[in-house]
Amino acid sequence: MLRKHALLAATLTLLTSFSAAAATTVIVHPSNAAALDEKSVQRIFLGKEKKFSDGVESIPINQVADSAVRGDFDENVLGRSSAQVSAYWSKLVFTGKGVPPKEVSSDADVIELVSKNPSAIGYVDSASVTGDVKAVSLN
Amino acid sequence: MKKVLTISTLALAMSTAANADVRINGFANLIGGITSSDDTLYGYDDNIGFGEESLFAIQVSGDINDRMTATGQLVARGSDDYEVDFEWAYLTYQVTDKVSISAGRLRLPLFRYSASLDVGYSYHWVNAPRAVYDVPFNNLDGVRVDYNTFVGDWEINLQAGAGTYENEIAGGKLEGSNTLVFSAEATYEWFKVRGVYGRSNATLEIPDLAPAFAQMQQVSPELAGFLSLNDDSGTFLGLGVEVDQFDWFVSAEITSIETEESFSPKDVAYYVTAGARINKWTPTLTYESLDGNNDIKGLDIVAGLPAQLQPAGAALAAGVQLPFMEEYDVITAGVRYDYDTNVAFKADVSKYTDDIDESNDATLVRVAVNYVF
């Protein structure tokens, strides 16, 4: 019984540290001056809005489904599990209403794309943010 | 300067690549079911079967230019011996960010899950509740206009469709002309409400009923004209609500289908479903009900016939209507497990209760694998 508790505590600690490590930051091109909050990021990543608040086209860049940062972004910014986000897109894809964001496989790839395209918006592990991109505060 | 050039080249490359995209997606539902002994339901019997609801589909879509997209969907259904059929084929023209027009063969926006009815992965059920969703006019040959906008925090989606449909039902061919459907959906974060109105001129000749109608023609041409389904105006009404708080959800839809001047009974159907999301598990409970058990129509015409013709008239009127009257409810407990972001496993058990003929009562157990790519 005691052992079970200890195990649970260890698992919990692990989980906490895991999610802390996976804190995500939304990034855009340094020249992007559009107003962004959680709602507008949600709309862009769910294909409901195709432009930034200043009228510039927005191109969301996703991370691959099995990455920790994707899971964190889906749960905390989009407010759904990755499976639900994928179910949401399957609805749009198979009705010809939308194409899900392109997926890349690393924070470095996201930063590379975002730093080169004023329309791009992505998210990375907070620890990966560099000076080539602008971090967006969602509050 | 060079740097700027590189950037614009990259940007160009990105947008060109997007334009030239031909996207191939697919989905599959493998569903197996078995009923309680000596019973049948939805085509299943007491030997496990996989052919009733399973399907495999491939969708190909390509951008013709900035604003035009062509989409084709090939579907092979177990219930059609996996014969491949072009169920959808349409062109979409994106007029503005908010307005698009599609033309071809496409899905009518009748229900909450109409658009992705075949994509099992998109919902929590093994299959959408048949009491509501199993209608013979899900696909339309025609035009649909979609309008999406935000009003404050509300997301508004309006759709209007016009065209014709054709389907096989009870051994006969159902045709709908002058079909018009309007739907409006409003979503506020966790709350969604939608309403639908549709109308059509329906024609249906069922070979098995032909002798009865021929006799009826002799007894009373007026009665035969009233009860036959020949270019008669039918209406569809639907209402849906949904509350989705992520950890749990509840939703319901109610529909009414009526072709007044015909042998076809008025059907009122609804379902209520609720579920919880616990990590990868989604246990759900669904209650569905269909009431198409009404008074025999046309008896006022029968009452106007000469007395000696009235018994025959009444018998014929009842004879063509009773086989289509249904009244039943189904309660289903199910679970979905998200194995991956493109694979889900599901299982459910349904208890079907027939309020007209209790010998039709049955219990069905199903398992399913849904896949999308």
| Stretch (H or E) spanning A2 | helix A2-21
Backbone angles phi, psi at B296, to 5 degrees: -65, 130
pLDDT (average), residues B24-50? 95
Determine the pLDDT at residue B20. Answer: 54
Determine the pLDDT at residue A6. Answer: 47
What is chain B's Cα-based Rg? 24
The full DSSP string for B73-105 is: EEEEEGGGTTEEEEEEEEEEEE-SSSEEEEEEE
Burial of A131 (0-12, 13-18, 19+ CB in 10 A): exposed
Per the CB < 8 A criterion, the answer to whether B33 and B48 are in contact is: yes
CB-nearest to B107 from A85, A87, A95 is A95
Cβ contact, residue pair B344, A51, below 8 Å = no
Quote the mean pLDDT of chain A.
85
Compute CA distances B239 → B193, B197, B360, whole Å.
8, 9, 29
Chain B residues touching residue A99 (CB < 8 angstroms) = 21, 23
Residue in chain A closest to B58 (alpha carbons) equals A94
Determine the pLDDT at residue A23. Answer: 85
CB-nearest to B11 from A39, A84, A117 is A117
Cβ contact, residue pair A86, B148, below 8 Å = no
Of the residues B69, B122, B143, B247, the best mutation for testing chain A's interface (the one with the most A CB atoms within 10 Å of its CB) is: B122
Residue A18 within a domain:
no
Residue A68 within a domain:
yes
Residue bearing tokens 């009452």: B303
For residue B102, is pLDDT > 80? yes
pLDDT (average), residues A3-25? 52
* 3-state secondary structure at position B250: strand
Chain B residues touching residue A66 (CB < 8 angstroms) = 341
Q: Which percentage of chain B shows pLDDT scores above 90?
A: 86
Determine the pLDDT at residue B2. Answer: 41
- Tens-place pLDDT, residues B338-369: 998 899 999 999 999 999 999 999 999 999 99
DSSP state of A76: I
pLDDT (average), residues B12-31? 71
Of the residues B2, B116, B138, B150, the best mutation for testing chain A's interface (the one with the most A CB atoms within 10 Å of its CB) is: B116
Residue bearing tokens 């997007």: B18
Lowest pLDDT segment from A53-67, B4-18, B27-41? B4-18
Q: Which percentage of chain A shows pLDDT scores above 90?
A: 62
Residue A4 within a domain:
no
CB atoms within 10 A of CB B122: 26
- Tens-place pLDDT, residues A41-90: 999 999 988 899 999 999 999 999 889 999 999 999 998 888 889 888 98
For residue B109, is pLDDT > 80? yes
What are the residue boundaries of the structural domains of chain B, listed by start? 39-50+120-372
Confidence of residue A10 (pLDDT cuts 50, 70, 90): very low
pTM of the full predicted structure? 0.85
Report d(CA B110, CA B100) in Å as an integer. Answer: 18
DSSP state of B254: E
Report d(CA B238, CA B269) in Å as an integer. Answer: 10
Confidence of residue A139 (pLDDT cuts 50, 70, 90): low
Determine the pLDDT at residue A92. Answer: 86
Q: What beta strand segments (E) does chain B contain?
A: 22-35, 55-63, 68-77, 83-94, 99-107, 139-151, 154-169, 172-188, 191-205, 229-244, 248-258, 267-276, 281-291, 327-340, 343-354, 362-372
- Tens-place pLDDT, residues B239-276: 999 999 989 999 999 999 999 999 999 999 999 999 99
Chain A residues touching residue B67 (CB < 8 angstroms) = none
Beta bridge partners of B166: B175
Compute CA distances B69 → B103, B115, B209, B253, whole Å.
11, 17, 44, 32
Cβ contact, residue pair A86, B107, below 8 Å = no
Q: What beta strand segments (E) does A1-139 contain?
A: 24-28, 59-63, 102-104, 120-125, 134-136
pLDDT (average), residues B290-302? 95
Residue in chain A closest to B89 (alpha carbons) equals A96
CB-nearest to A91 from B100, B115, B155 is B115
Residue A122 sits in a domain whose CATH number is 3.40.190.10
Residues of chain B that touch chain A, judged by Cβ-Cβ distance less than 8 Å: 6-7, 10-11, 14, 21, 23, 25, 27, 57, 59, 61, 69, 71, 73, 90, 92, 97, 100, 102, 107, 115-116, 118-119, 121-123, 146, 148, 150, 153, 155, 246, 277, 280, 338, 340-342, 344, 372
The full DSSP string for B212-240 is: HHHHHHHH-HHHHHHHSEEEEEEEEEEEE
Residue A106 within a domain:
yes
Q: Which percentage of chain B shows pLDDT scores above 70?
A: 95
CB-nearest to A91 from B11, B116, B342 is B116
Domain count, chain A: 1
- A86 in reach of chain B (CB within 8 A): yes
Residue A122 within a domain:
yes
Residue A15 within a domain:
no
* Structural domain that includes position A74: 23-136
Confidence of residue A21 (pLDDT cuts 50, 70, 90): very low
- Tens-place pLDDT, residues B203-216: 998 999 999 999 99
* 3-state secondary structure at position B276: strand
Cβ contact, residue pair B372, A95, below 8 Å = no
Residue A96 within a domain:
yes
Determine the pLDDT at residue B12. Answer: 41
- A55 in reach of chain B (CB within 8 A): no
CB-nearest to B97 from A51, A66, A93 is A51
For residue B11, is pLDDT > 50? no
Residue in chain B closest to A118 (alpha carbons) equals B11
Residue A74 within a domain:
yes
Fold of B39-50+120-372: Porin (2.40.160)
